Amino acid sequence: MSAASGASAGPDLPVWLREVLRCPATRGPLQDVRDDDGRLVGLLSTSADPPLLYPVVDGIPVLLVDEGVPQAPAAGGDAGPGAVGA
């Protein structure tokens, strides 16, 4: 299953916006999640337990607590964006 789950991704988020976005549940930082083509499809909060994946739909991050999709925690080390949804 891909991290996109059918959501269409738009262009990357502007740097200024990316710097201020935080997890709505924990206020922690978010990591970019990209598909195989390098398109931004989600933002991952690793400060949540379990980690939560928030979708990016048409270039707009959906940062609502109820929209966060729980992810399996990464085993043994830093989970890079490619490790999500495995």
For residue 54, tell me if it sits in a domain. Answer: yes
Please compute, for residue 45, the number of CA atoms within 13 A of its CA located in the half-sphere on the CB side. 25
Flag whether 78 is in a domain: no
In this prediction, residue 29 has a pLDDT band, given cuts at 50, 70 and 90, of very high
Q: Would you say residue 86 lies in a domain?
A: no
- The count of domains in the chain is 1
d(CA 58, CA 78): 28
- Buried/exposed code over 5-24 (b: 16+ C-beta within 10 A; e: otherwise): eeeebeeebeeeeeeeeebb
Is residue 62 a part of any domain in this protein?
A: yes
User: At residue 6, does pLDDT exceed 70?
Assistant: no
| pLDDT single digits (tens) 61-79 | 999 999 999 999 776 555 4
Q: What is the pTM of this model?
A: 0.72
Range of the domain at 7: 1-71
CA 71/CA 14 separation, integer angstroms: 26
Split at pLDDT 50, 70, 90, the class of 22 is: very high
